[in-house]
Structure 1
Amino acid sequence: MVVGEEREDRVFHALADATRRDILSRVFRSGMSVSALARLYPMSFAAVQKHVAVLEQAGLVTKERRGREQIVHGDPDALRGVIGGLMNSYERIWRDRAGRITAILEEES
């Protein structure tokens, strides 16, 4: 399991690619086999597998073996966790800044 900043880095790296974002939106709606995903894109099966592997390493998808196929499922909670954590840290920064501005203004009054 990847934690902290490394996990954030992997998630944002995974989301930086349009194909991976499209794959993610599809598997959030419904699990799909890697072969079904590969038919949707103008690239090789191996290239789609690599995109899915990047999403899996980021913790955004999981794969389930069904016979000869691997079904890819999205994990929206993983995405929410990373995005939520990042937004919370930015909110703390801005609240701190607002507090300092308020203190400065009160001193000058």
Structure 2
Amino acid sequence: MRRPSLYEHLKVLREAGLVSEQRSGRQRIHRLEAAPLAEVQDWLQPYERFWRGRLKDLGALLDRMPDDGVT
């Protein structure tokens, strides 16, 4: 990835509050801001539990189905 593209991505992440930037002379140090991601994870948790259960049920159903040998 070229530097201008990288900085464009970092700019979007910075504007979203997911990355912070500290300048030190000519260097720019970027840090991940994990707190917003924890909020997203908390919001998604009920859906994850729902889909994890559904996929487990699907796997159990597929395990019970006879294997007809067709691939």
Deviation at 1:85, TM superposition (A): 2.4
For normalisation by structure 2, the TM-score amounts to 0.56
Between Structure 1 and Structure 2, which shows a larger proportion of helix residues? 1
1:84-103 → structure 2 map (5 Å cutoff): 84-87=42-45, 90=47
CA RMSD across the alignment: 1.9
Return the offset for 1:86. 3.3
1:78 alignment counterpart: 36
TM-score by length of 1: 0.39
Query: Partners in 2 of 1:87 and 1:56 — Cα distance?
Result: 25
Count of residues paired in the alignment: 49
Gaps of 5+ in 1: 1-42, 95-109
Identity %: 35
The match for 1:45 is 3
Query: Could you say what secondary structure the match of 1:87 adopts?
Result: helix
Question: What residue ranges of structure 2 are gaps of 5+ in the alignment?
Answer: 51-71
